[in-house]
Chains A and B, each alone.
Chain A
Amino acid sequence: MILLESIIDGIRDIKDHLGRTLLQLVGIILGAGSIVATFSLSVAGKAASMEYYRVSGGIQKIWIWDKPTGKVTLDAKALASKGLTFRDAEAIKRDAKDIDLVSPVASETMTIRYREIEKPRNVMGVVPAYSPMNDVHAAQGRFITDGDVQTAAKVVVFGAERAAEFFSTDNPIGKTVTINGTGYQVVGVMQEKYFSFDHKRNVLRWMNRQIYIPITTHFTRKGQSLDRGKVSFMNARMIDIKNHEEAVDQIRKVLHREHGVKDYEVLSRVANLKRNESQNRMYDMTFMICGIISLIVGGIVVMNIQLASFNERVREVGTRKAVGASPAQIFGQFLAESILVSVFGGFIGLFVGKLFTDGIAALTRDPAAITPDTIVKALIFAAGTGLIFGMYPAIRASRLSPIEALRTE
């Protein structure tokens, strides 16, 4: 009952002194705004990168590249190492027990011709594991099969964009294309992959611009033996991300055993994610601390104004006490007022936070999303500020002796 009256009083107070109230609330508005911006950007950013990882093969994915060693003195085995080979892929699949899928890729630019269209295009020699590894599947026909790899079949699968480029409206399946002068039969067209952080650029477009042949066919055309076949890069998939360090270690051990020199690089998405996370956490913390400092400063201003208004209202407090307000009722009334004013500030802060968020999102093209969760958090922070900094004025008012209060001019 009294709380309700206090709230009505408080709202009238805000209305009567809107300008003063807004000035008083600048700190809380900015503080709540920063908190909204922090959470919105951080939550959305994280969700977007997780989504990106998901559509492009999951965070279990590990990248393995060649990395020329800087060493000058090399032993015979190290000198013999030609970098990543198909044999390495087999060895990893066999010996790294935390790995369930290995996808070696041999990539090279070749000349593709279909009827009168002839263009140099990148061609990837792959194994069937490529499809689950990158979560890219055939939309028409089929992908490269184990049979294709075993027989070094002259078959080819087109990425969505490449299929459109060479075949336009024709159905590519069953057609024959010439790659570096040899005929290949088109057996499949891949689905179109799309992912964008900013709703503008498709970051998975490269997947749509691939042309796939069996990796063995690739080696044969280049005159390389199967186990010596040069691999451009490999992906491996770990079984359980809890063991991501072990999985990476096992790959490193196998490669070191095969190569005798560290001429490779292994990078897991989990490790990458963790590194990004700690970096993002730093940004989040910085923003968050700014928000909290704003709130503290805002809280001190609220406290000062409450104290000032308390001095203005000493007689009022005295009158209320004379007619029977208990200390607890006066305390509640003052506290309710400062919480109300702060929540009002927090509410305005939501709109300011929306402006911050939109502004930053527009500048950095990062995704941003204001969730109900964020709104609740910002309002709770604002209310908490009002509660903490309203405490002292409320205690002072409640302890005021009625007779001294009434004597004040």
Chain B
Amino acid sequence: MSALPEYIEESVAAKALIQLEEVTKTYDAGENAVQALRGVDVAIQEGEFVAIIGPSGSGKSTLMHIVGCLDSPTTGKYWLDGQDVAELTARQLARIRNQKIGFVFQTFNLLPRATVLKNVELPLLYAGLSRGERRERAMSALERVGLGDRSKHRPNELSGGQRQRVAIARALVNNPSLVLADEPTGNLDQKTGSEIIDIFEALAGQETIVLVTHDPTIASRTGRRIKMVDGRIVNGELE
């Protein structure tokens, strides 16, 4: 089952930022094998603001990890910006994560011992930028999320919403082509969560954003919703 009508797929295949074909993912091969993805076809264009929704266990996080080059498909093809990801080495994948992708996690995943500034600088460190350049770009990313005055704090001195904003600054700092957010509001109260989505909304248009959520209110604020059930996409187009 194709996620897109054939005529659309044909016409967009060349320009889609993300293109998945017949992607499956099986964990723990053997008797306890879990099929997280059972053949996913999806194309996401540059500049889209997409929500992946679905019940827990439907495979949306797995899909997100594959799209983010954190994990690789068991079978099927994945092109990111025209590049077949299956052909890449661990080192090249690391470089893609560094240059093209910005991740925002449900649990923030900030380094607890590093300052806010150091956390935001981290992708630039691995990109090999100089100290001065790292500082400058990290500061401007922090200002974009409204945390310019917290650069010297440690993550445990910040509220949940602030921590998630630091994580967003970190995701944006290297000017990625793609921002991926995995349940970014999952650990936040409704009001704070809504503020985080405000930030994503403001970014929409300038960045390609894919976020995983099970909250229909949040999903309704995005430009396109991809619904997953049991490892498959049930409707790839706008409802």
Q: Which residues of A pack against B, CB within 8 Å?
A: 1-2, 5, 12, 16, 315-316, 318-329, 401-403, 406
Contacts and interface: CB of A to CB of B under 8 A. Distances in A.
B91 A324 contact: no
Nearest to B128: A1
A261 B224 CA distance: 115
A326 B113 CA distance: 21
Contacts of B103: 322-323
Contacts of B70: 321-322, 402-403, 406
Given A1-B128, A403-B70, A323 B122 contact: yes
Interface in B17-68: 65, 68
B95 interface: yes
Interface of B: 65, 68, 70-71, 90-91, 94-95, 97-99, 103, 105, 109-111, 113, 122-123, 125-131, 170, 174
A318 B122 CA distance: 13
Contact of B126 (A16, A324, A402, A403): A324
Given A316-B111, A322-B103, A327 B170 contact: no
A322 B97 contact: yes
B130 A1 contact: yes
Contacts of A1: 125, 128-131
B99 A326 contact: no
A318 to B, nearest CB: 7
B109 A315 contact: yes
A291 B174 CA distance: 49
A327 B113 contact: no
B109 A318 contact: yes
Nearest to A4: B131
A319 to B, nearest CB: 4
Contacts of A12: 113
B86 to A, nearest CB: 16
B126 A323 contact: yes
Contacts of B65: 403
Contacts of B95: 324, 326
B99 A327 contact: no
Contacts of B99: 324
Given A12-B113, A403-B65, A323 B91 contact: no
B111 A323 contact: no
Contacts of A328: 91
B36 to A, nearest CB: 11
B94 A324 contact: yes
A324 B98 contact: yes
A152 B22 CA distance: 118
Nearest to B129: A1
